[in-house]
Chains A and B, each alone.
Chain A
Amino acid sequence: MIRAGLAGLLLAIGLLGSALPARAEQVLTVEVLATKAAAMETGPAEVNILLRLTDESGIDVLRPEGGCDSALPGIGQTATECYALAIVENSVPVGRYSYRILETRSTDSFLLVTYPSTATGDRRASLRIDYNGFTNHDPETVLMLSDYDNGTLDPKDPFESLHRLYAGKLKAFAAELAENLPSEVNDAAAKSWRDAFMAAQRKWAQFVESDCVLAARLAGEAQRSRCLADRTMERIDQLDTSFSPD
């Protein structure tokens, strides 16, 4: 009975499919990681925001790497592979924006958003991200842009900011793991476990250094920051999978 009902619902939705209006479902979490506002020689200032999007839908709402511009017709619809953004800065809607999807890994995606800004003084902004009806939580929340990473974002090398932020997270996580050993490690074995863990972290740091020198030589200096950021994010996942207490 239930299966028949489900099949009927699926059939009806499948047939109506594109005729149904897209509905707003809040499945994305937006986190501002870093910002930078730079005065330009002519015209308005340029604001850059590094964002992390986290997808809770379980159906791969996040888009792959690429560049998007608000001038793109139909932006926010699936055919464009781009999110539509609605940015309100100091109560004024931002008319034109562009962004790069720097990287999408698992349920996280990183965006570098750029827009011209005529605001003066402190900048406060709200962000709504929409991909065919899937939106972020709390899109009306007003964020104080200068609060994030002290304006140190380099728009030409956003992976450097990512690396710095995740290196801090990794350091804190590794310290936490060194203090909270897996339950199967008894007190007598704690010191040797901790020593081995710290040695493993040093070996990993040595590997990342040499691997990212290689990446820079192979693919250009800009790849060094990306390599460092990628390896650091991956290491957090590795530690979580391998060494987190049960």
Chain B
Amino acid sequence: MRRAFAVIAGWLVAFAPAIAAAADAPVPSIDVQVIAATTSAQNDVTLVLMVTGDGLDPSALPADSDQCDGSGYTRGEDPPEVACYKIVATENGQPVSALSYQQLFNHGTVGYLQLRYHTPVEPRHARTLRIDLSFTLGNDVVRNRNPEAEIDMAGFSSDAFPDPDNPWAPLYAFQDRRLNALYAGLTGSPQVAGDPELRSLATKAEQDWVASKEADCSAPLMPTPLEVDWCRTLRTTDRIDHLSVLPRSVAGATP
């Protein structure tokens, strides 16, 4: 408890002037994007979510879901020590049941979650999802900007998420698409496209990166499909960072 007081009080004392100066700044918020979704024959739904912070420090996002079930902002012994996401989801306006989530990883101000719930909507009906996701920062609540937005579940093919226990597979596919867009922006930029030697260097670097990633993320170093996809996701996320910081003149796309 003393530690919690000390951290919060220290933060407030240290940054009070900055808080005052930022009083007119936009309120920190998050964007929530569904990356993949799959629904079982028993109406159990598994989603992979990307939570993007706006106006937040990287340390602000909840980082550990071990004792969290989506029902409240904190879990654990009294006093609560673990910061959690509070998640309210409805499908076709009806509350979902048996909701739980698992933090996959945080990267900067972006977090990736696996969300599970039981949908009350029969499969034969069209389904729209609403998610209200929030967490506390000091004594403020940070929430997603548009919790009333309706997400059409028909837009997600279960074929792209074949194993609900392996959220890393669709997450890797998602990150790989982002990386490909960045790489296309790099090689298509006037500076690179008009310089055969530079283009050759870019191609070589990317080929060598792929070889390095695959060497890291194959058996026996990564013995299971889940570990392979986990490793590929992390390496690809790092590579997105590399290409994202290239000069604007050559980075023609945003991740």
Contacts and interface: CB of A to CB of B under 8 A. Distances in A.
Interface string B77-119: 0110000000000000000000000000000000000000000
Contacts of A133: 13-14
Given A211-B205, A241-B234, A243-B221, A9 B13 contact: no
Interface string B190-214: 0110000110011011001101100
Contacts of B191: 218
Interface stretch (B18-26, B45-53, B169-177): B18-26
Please indicate which of the listed interface residues A14, A192, A199, A211 has the most CB atoms of chain B within 10 Å of its own CB: A211
B58 A211 contact: no
A10 B15 CA distance: 13
B16 interface: yes
A2 interface: yes
B234 A203 contact: no
B125 interface: no
Contact of B139 (A7, A78, A218): A7
A171 interface: no
A59 B18 CA distance: 14
A207 B216 CA distance: 12
Given A204-B215, A218-B246, A22 B13 contact: yes
Nearest to A10: B139
Interface string A185-221: 1000100110011011001101101110110011100
Please indicate which of the listed interface residues B11, B197, B204, B221 has the most CB atoms of chain A within 10 Å of its own CB: B221
Interface string A7-23: 10111011001101011
B221 A203 contact: no
B220 interface: yes
B57 interface: yes
A206 B247 contact: no
A77 interface: yes
A207 B11 contact: no
Contact of B220 (A10, A196, A213): A196
Contacts of B126: none
A71 interface: no
Interface residues of B, number: 53
Contacts of B8: 6, 9-10, 13
B141 interface: no
B16 A18 contact: yes
A17 B19 contact: yes
Contacts of A185: 220
Nearest to A194: B220
A58 interface: yes
A40 B21 CA distance: 42
A203 B201 contact: no
A20 B211 contact: no
Nearest to B14: A132
B243 to A, nearest CB: 10
6 nearest CB pairs, A to B: A17-B16, A207-B208, A200-B215, A203-B215, A207-B212, A78-B18
Interface of A: 2, 6-7, 9-11, 13-14, 17-18, 20, 22-23, 25, 57-61, 77-79, 131-134, 184-185, 189, 192-193, 196-197, 199-200, 203-204, 206-207, 209-211, 213-214, 217-219, 234, 238, 241-243
Given A134-B14, A206-B211, A213-B201, 9 more contacts: A2-B78, A6-B5, A13-B9, A14-B139, A79-B18, A189-B220, A196-B218, A200-B221, A211-B242
